[in-house]
Every structure is written in structure tokens, then in C-alpha cells.
Amino acid sequence: MLGAFLQSRIMEAWIGELRAKFEGVFGAGGKTFLVRAPGRVNLIGEHTDYNDGFVCPMAIEPEVRIVCRLNESGKVRIASTVFAGQVAEFSVQEKIERGEPKWGNYMRGVAAELIGAGIPLSGMEAMYDNTLPVGGGLSSSAAIEVGTGIALLTLAGLKMDAMRLALICQKAEHEYAGVPCGIMDQMIVATGKAGHATLFDCRSMEKQFVPMDEKELRVVIVNSMVKHELSGGEYAERRKQCEEAVAYFHRENPMVKALRDVSMKQVEEAKGKLDDLVFRRARHVVGENARAVEAAGAIGRKDYERAGELMVQSHNSLRDDYEVSCEELDYLSAEAMKIKGVYGARMTGGGFGGCIVALVQPRAVEGFAAQLAKSYQGKYGIVPQVIVTRAMGGAGAI
């Protein structure tokens, strides 16, 4: 009871602070609305979503928060606590183009795609706040997109099916942010169920909710605080390599449309015929699909040991076959597994930095966080951010 009371007081405080920042930029007056959009962590199923595969994410407590107000001029004006002093502006009555500041392209894209879908929009003034680590692999971009969509729809007096909004936001990220992402991030941000992860079929769009019992299991995210900038568009490059693998398997069997349709036996038989790099990319994706489905089932029946084993296998595959890990993530994952009470740990997100996710026994959480933080700081001189989170519901107006 006390915990709920404290949470309520904390919520009231941030609402007051965010409203004050909003009025500091846009002035007082008018009816304001509040929108929250959670980040997400993917428990397992990495780089499978754009291969028509399976993923198992959950919405988390850190989130994007928006205070917004109707603007009758048709103009959208947006500010952010992350980029103090900057205001992104565009009109919903004119063709919306990408522009400066670049962070505003996420919002521009959502508005443009909603209009393209036949949704009449009004102008908006909005202040964004973010308790998600930017660039940490916890999908702050999808939270911004879905939150923007809900804000614009709320001010227009409209509602939309959550999955339809997720698809619109995915298209916005493709067209306006230039990131060819799969549907996982927008899906879980829009449709997450409190107390559950979601096993999601990225082809059929079918969901299976996986209960996460807080009394038996805690999800702990550890942010390495590093992000390695690699040239050459690593994400797009991985997609291209997967497409090369699909082209090979399609020639062997025209029924193959994505790596989702390929078995591990077929992958192994292609060894020496496929380019070795493409072979290893395919081996990761096909293996990861199987791991995601099995791990979701294991968590559902409370076989946390098996789920943890699969998470470790996932990390090793991402490190060795998909090559999207980095030294810091490898260290955090390996050190986490040395701590008593940890079932499994792996990198999560696109890679090259960001976070690991671990499944931990509740009584071990405090010791886990302290021991891993101390070890990591001793090794790299960096204090990691540790987030202990529950599975949250999807985005919505408060």
C-alpha cells in the first residue's frame, strides 16, 4: 500500500515538473493531456524481427512522457527536456518533409504517416521528457513514435487500434529516420500487457502473452553506457546479408520467403556453398528463432534455468555469428553469469553497445546490481546504469 502511495506521489511530482517546463516554452492556458509510452527490453529473439521470425520483448518502466495541448493553427511545435532550447516545428496542413533538428524527424514521420493513412490531425504543442537512456537499445525511438501518435490522435479526438498505430510508426521510422527496423519495438510499446512478456510472430502478427511472476523472477537491465559508432550502416548490412541467404535458399526451395522458412538442417547443409559470413548470419537467425519460442515456453512454465541457458546461447550467437556485440557487453554478460541467483544474461537490442538483460531471483537482485556495477567500473572505469523493472502495459493517455 505504501509503495503504491509513493508511486502516486512521484507521478504527481513529475507531472507538475513537466507541465512547468511545457509552460516555460509554450506559455500557460488551455487544456493539456498527458501521454506515457514505455521503452522495451527484448528478453530473447534478436535480429529475427526483420526476418519474419519470433521475438519475446516486454514493455518496461522507463518511458517517454509527453504533455501536449491543442494548437488551432495547424502547426506542431515540439520541445524536449533532452534537447533544451530547441523546438521542432512543422504544419499538418502542408507536406511534411524531414528537417532540423533531426530528432524532430521521428515526430514529423508519425504525423506524415497518420495523415497519409487518412487521419485528420490538428496542430499540437508538446513537451517530451524521457526516463529511457537514449541510445541504450531500449527503444526510446519507438516510444517517441508511439507516444507522438497517441498524442496527435488524442488531441484530434480519435482512437486507433494499437497494432495499426504500431505499423504506422514503423513506417515512419523507415521513411523519416532512415532505419529499416522490424515491427517488434513499435508493437510492444503500443500493445504491451502489464505483468507479461509477449512472444510475437513477426509474420502473422500473432501474440502469446508470457506471464512474468514478480515473486519468482526479476528482470534487470544493465546499461554499459557505451555506444560504438560503426561506419557503413551495420544494421542495414545485416539485413542485406540475410536477404542474400534467403535468395540462396529460395533457389533451393521457392517456398522460402524469409529465414523464418529455413530449418537448421538446411543451414548446415549450405555450409561451404554459402559465403561463410552469410552462412553465419543465417545460422544465428534460424537458431535464434528456435531459442525465442523455446525460452518463452520455459518462462511460461517457470523453467527459468532453461530460459537462462537459452539466453546465454543467444548472446554467444550474437557475438560470434552475427557479430553485433562488443567487449563491454561480452564482459557484462559473462560476469553476470558468475553471480549467484542469475538464471541467464545476454546483450539486448541492436548491439555495438547499449544494454544486457538478465533474469534474476528476487532475493539476489540487490547483490547482483552492486557486484556487477563494482566489477564493471573496476574493469572499464565506467559506472553502469542498472534498471530493475516490471513488465508494463503499452502506451496510452494518462
Write out the catalytic residue numbers.
185
Position 275: which residue type? D
Residue identified by cell 506515457 is 36
CB 41 within 8 A of CB 221: yes
Place of cell 510472430: 201
User: For residues 311 and 348, is the Cβ–Cβ distance under 8 A?
Assistant: no
Q: For residue 123, count other CB atoms closer than 10 A to its CB.
A: 19
Question: With contact defined as beta carbons under 8 Å apart, do 24 and 171 qualify?
Answer: no
- Taking only Cα atoms into account, the Rg of the chain, rounded to an integer number of angstroms, comes to 21
Instruction: Write the single-letter amino acid at 262.
Output: V
At 201, the amino acid letter reads D
**Which amino acid does the sequence have at 71?**
N
- Is residue 311 within 8 Å of residue 287, measured between CB atoms? no
The answer to whether 123 touches 102, Cβ cutoff 8 Å, is no
- The x, y and z cell numbers of residue 146, run together, are 508511439
Residues whose CB falls within 8 Å of the CB of residue 289, separated by 6 or more in sequence, listed in order: 45, 48, 51, 53, 54, 259, 260
Cell of 394: 503499452
Question: In the numeric block, which cell numbers belong to residue 375?
Answer: 566489477
Number of H helices, E strands in the chain: 11, 12
Phi, psi (degrees; rounded to nearest 5) at 289: -60, -45
SS3 at position 382: coil
**C-beta atoms surrounding 277 within 10 Å:** 13
Dist CA 41 CA 58 (whole Å)? 6
Q: How far apart are CA 333 and CA 350, in angstroms?
A: 15
Q: Which residue has the cell 515491427?
A: 183
